[in-house]
């Protein structure tokens, strides 16, 4: 980005640490108005144990939204990158949905459904985290609106990034390849395709969109419930 002429600054941040995220927010806000936030940090089911997935993908997202929600400028917008996996988790109770959406950030990981005896495996933890991301964004969009800002979620399917390549060649690779092959589109997505949706949500053409989640997975979830993947 610097080579393309942008003024770029970088920071190493642990999104599961309030101190680390707060320092990023303070540094960013001191530089200029914060008009856009894109949060994509996360670990996959093959990369980390249950407790790390919940700390990074679930708690970390809630933390980033809370901290940046304090400083987001009027007219600003945010996008959280969630996952198709959140859409394939079975229905939760209304109480569970509400808890994932509005439980105070520092109390979130103490919620009963997130305890070790309730999480069956890393995929289950990942699905809960990503479902929690979309619910959290709905609730935070109401708070961000008080500052004149918008907030949405994108739930991509298999997008050819380093993380996806790791999954496609890792222990869950066969399942990932089958999802691609048996999806209605029949291929994986590209970062540019996700970026196009992100640009809509962050820009003036998306001014009427907030608190929403956009599933873009080439139809994998549709096939999971109603197509060839449903029979497996």
State how far the Cα of 192 lies from the Cα of 175, in Å rounded to an integer.
24
Q: Which of these is catalytic: 59, 130, 166, 176?
A: 130
Residue 101 tokens, joined: 């959406």
Q: Report residue 156: phi and psi, to 5°.
A: -75, 160
Q: CA–CA distance from 188 to each of 81, 107, 145, 196, 214 (Å)?
A: 16, 37, 34, 16, 17
Q: Which of these is catalytic: 59, 126, 165, 176?
A: 126
Q: Is 165 a catalytic residue?
A: no
Can you say whether residue 205 is alpha, beta or left, with left for phi > 0 and alpha for psi between -120 and 50 degrees?
A: alpha
Q: Is 98 a catalytic residue?
A: no
- Active-site residue numbers? 126, 130
């Amino acid at each position: 980005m610097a080579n393309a002429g942008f003024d770029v600054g970088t920071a190493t941040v642990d999104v599961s640490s309030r101190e680390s995220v707060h320092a990023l927010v303070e540094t960013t806000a001191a530089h200029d108005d914060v008009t856009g936030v894109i949060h994509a940090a996360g670990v996959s089911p093959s990369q980390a144990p249950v407790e790390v997935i919940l700390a990074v993908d679930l708690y970390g997202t809630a933390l980033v939204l809370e901290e940046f929600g304090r400083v987001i400028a009027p007219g600003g917008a945010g996008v959280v990158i969630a996952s198709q996996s959140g859409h394939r988790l079975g229905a939760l109770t209304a109480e569970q949905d509400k808890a994932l959406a509005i439980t105070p950030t520092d109390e979130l990981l103490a919620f009963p459904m997130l305890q070790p005896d309730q999480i069956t495996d890393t995929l289950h933890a990942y699905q809960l985290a990503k479902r929690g991301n979309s619910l959290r964004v709905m609730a935070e969009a109401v708070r961000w609106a008080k500052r004149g800002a918008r907030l949405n979620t994108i739930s991509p399917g298999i997008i050819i990034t380093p993380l996806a390549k790791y999954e496609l060649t890792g222990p869950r690779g066969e399942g990932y390849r089958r999802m691609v092959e048996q999806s209605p589109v029949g291929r994986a997505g590209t970062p540019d395709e996700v970026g196009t949706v992100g640009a809509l949500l962050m820009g003036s053409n998306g001014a009427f969109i907030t608190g929403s989640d956009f599933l873009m997975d080439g139809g994998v979830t549709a096939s999971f419930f109603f197509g060839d993947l449903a029979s497996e």
